[in-house]
Amino acid sequence: NTQERKTQVPLERRMDMKTKEEKLIERMVRKCMNHLKKKDYELGITKRDVEAAVKCTKVVTKDWCSGATYGGSRVIQINLNYWQHGKEGWHKEYPAYDNCPVIGGRYTKNLEEDFWLSVSHEVAHHVQRKFGPSCRWLRKTHRKPHGQGFKDIYSILRSQIVNPLLGEYEPKRKE
């Protein structure tokens, strides 16, 4: 059919096309990085660093056991199949701070809220690893994966961007 052929996207263009989830996650990364770029935080993040963070973001769909969601100095990986994505209920954080009202677990209602929690968590790791060694206030605390340096960065993102989107904090209910 001639009409169908006109609307088909050539294979080489399809390879560059992003899914709605990829676009959403890139916007989230950009928003988090732009927030941390503020001079008040003294992280030294530039516009170029924001774009580099977006560019190093990988959105994958891997089985739960083989494809973690993680962040490092050169990568931010978000696994769409991560076990907490898309499950209404308690979005768990690491046990050491799961009950913290600022950076702990939260009840989520939809996939986008789950993405906000995962993306902000991994952006905090990215910033911790990439900017921590040269940042005055992170120099001594940036090494431990979920240590004070990470918690300080994550607290900024959660308190200023994510938590207001999620609404009022509700402690985890006893099961």
CA angle 40, 72, 78 (to 5 degrees): 100
Query: Residue 161 carries which DSSP code?
Result: I
**pLDDT, mean of each 10-residue run, the chain (175 residues):** 46 67 97 98 98 96 77 96 90 94 97 97 98 96 96 98 96 87
Q: Which two tokens stand for residue 54?
A: 């977006």
Name which of 97, 96, 89, 95 is nearest 114 in CA terms.
89
Instruction: State whether residue 59 is helix, strand or coil.
Output: strand
Determine contact, residues 37/49, Cβ cutoff 8 Å: yes
What's this model's pTM, rounded to 2 decimal places?
Answer: 0.89
Query: Tell me, what's the pLDDT at 136?
Result: 96
Residues present in the chain in total: 175
H or E segment at 21?
Answer: helix 20-36
